[in-house]
Amino acid sequence: MVTNPQAVLRVLPAIQHDKLYEQLEARGWRRVEGTPPADPHAKVVSTWCHDGIDARVSWVDDRELARHFYGIVYGPGAQRALERLVADAWAITAERGISAIQHATTAEQLGTAARALGLLAIGRFDQDVFDVLSGMLTSGHAALQLDALTALMFSAWPQFEPLVASLAADESADAAVRAEAADVLEAQRESGWNRELR
């Protein structure tokens, strides 16, 4: 349950761009102006609201992370808006993200699912999501570790910090993985592990 009256949440839609917009319009959403207060420099493509819900969703283009865009939901009614977007935007939930990892057959599919989970690793701590990303982080597979580290840049859970610190100091780990872990550790410490998303 979100207790912050100005909650900032994330949503990852399973449909994208024009199809997403058509679906939102059909479900009563409309375009408005707006920029997420938690990230005023985000590459916002469009912002939407729904009558009767005191919140907005801004769709952000971040292909490095998501391979498509994701939404930042904000305002006093953010939780209600997020619940509606699960249906209206066919949102990917943590459970669906874990299922995607379980059914992945290539490292690329695992990496894409890990980045999705990283986007969703905010709000109330979820042990299942934590366990999946931690497993990838400690897998010893450099590509998967890098994908997990990319995911953790967007997480709001400081529970990951000991694992990231350990990886940054692990001389047996791949040099690129160690360097990325050190960068993630520094950035997340500066942001307080994205404290505004908890």
Is the per-residue pLDDT at 78 higher than 60?
Answer: yes
By the 8 A CB rule, do 70 and 13 touch? yes
pLDDT given for residue 177 in this prediction = 97
Residues 61 and 101 in one domain: no
pLDDT given for residue 4 in this prediction = 46
Give 68's pLDDT tier (boundaries 50, 70, 90).
low
Residues 183 and 103 in one domain: yes
Which CATH number goes with the domain that contains 168?
1.25.10
Is the per-residue pLDDT at 132 higher than 60?
Answer: yes
Average pLDDT of the chain to the nearest whole number: 87
Residues 48 and 76 in one domain: yes
Residue 2 within a domain: no
Give 40's pLDDT tier (boundaries 50, 70, 90).
low
- Tell me how far apart the alpha carbons of residues 190 and 179 are, in angstroms, rounded to a whole number: 17
Residues 101 and 124 in one domain: yes
Residue where the block lists tokens 């729904």: 50
pLDDT given for residue 56 in this prediction = 94
Tens digit of each residue's pLDDT (9 = 90 or more) over 12-30:
888 888 899 999 999 999 9
Is the per-residue pLDDT at 66 higher than 60?
Answer: no
Which of 39-48, 63-72, 188-197 has the largest mean confidence?
A: 188-197
Residues 98 and 172 in one domain: yes
Q: Look at residues 88, 112, 145 and tell me which one is the last residue of a structural domain.
A: 88
Residues 104 and 28 in one domain: no
Residue 112 within a domain: yes
What does each C-alpha distance from 155 to 44, 84, 148, 185, 191 come to in angstroms?
19, 23, 10, 12, 11
Closest CA to 160 of 106, 196, 122, 197: 122
Residues 74 and 103 in one domain: no
By the 8 A CB rule, do 6 and 75 touch? yes
Tens digit of each residue's pLDDT (9 = 90 or more) over 152-198:
988 999 999 999 999 999 999 999 999 999 999 999 999 899 887 77
Residues 64 and 130 in one domain: no
Is the per-residue pLDDT at 124 higher than 80?
Answer: yes
Q: Compare 198 and 77 and report the one with higher pLDDT.
A: 77
Q: Look at residues 88, 105, 139 and tell me which one is the last residue of a structural domain.
A: 88
Residues 113 and 133 in one domain: yes
pLDDT given for residue 2 in this prediction = 37
Q: Point out which residues pair with 129 in neighbouring strands.
A: none
Instruction: State the DSSP code for 93.
Output: P
Residues 31 and 68 in one domain: yes
Residues 110 and 185 in one domain: yes
Which CATH number goes with the domain that contains 26?
3.30.310
Is the per-residue pLDDT at 6 higher than 70?
Answer: no
What does each C-alpha distance from 65 to 2, 3, 79, 92 come to in angstroms?
25, 28, 23, 15
Indicate the number of domains in the chain.
2
Angle, in degrees to the nearest 10, between helices 107-120 and 127-137? 140
The arithmetic mean of pLDDT across residues 116-134, rounded, is 89
Residue 4, φ and ψ in degrees, nearest 5: -70, 120
pTM: 0.75
Residues 54 and 115 in one domain: no
Q: Look at residues 35, 56, 88 and tell me which one is the last residue of a structural domain.
A: 88
Closest CA to 37 of 65, 67, 63, 6: 6
Report H helices in the chain.
17-26, 63-66, 78-88, 94-102, 107-120, 127-137, 142-152, 161-169, 175-191
Is the per-residue pLDDT at 3 higher than 50?
Answer: no
Domain that holds residue 146: 94-193
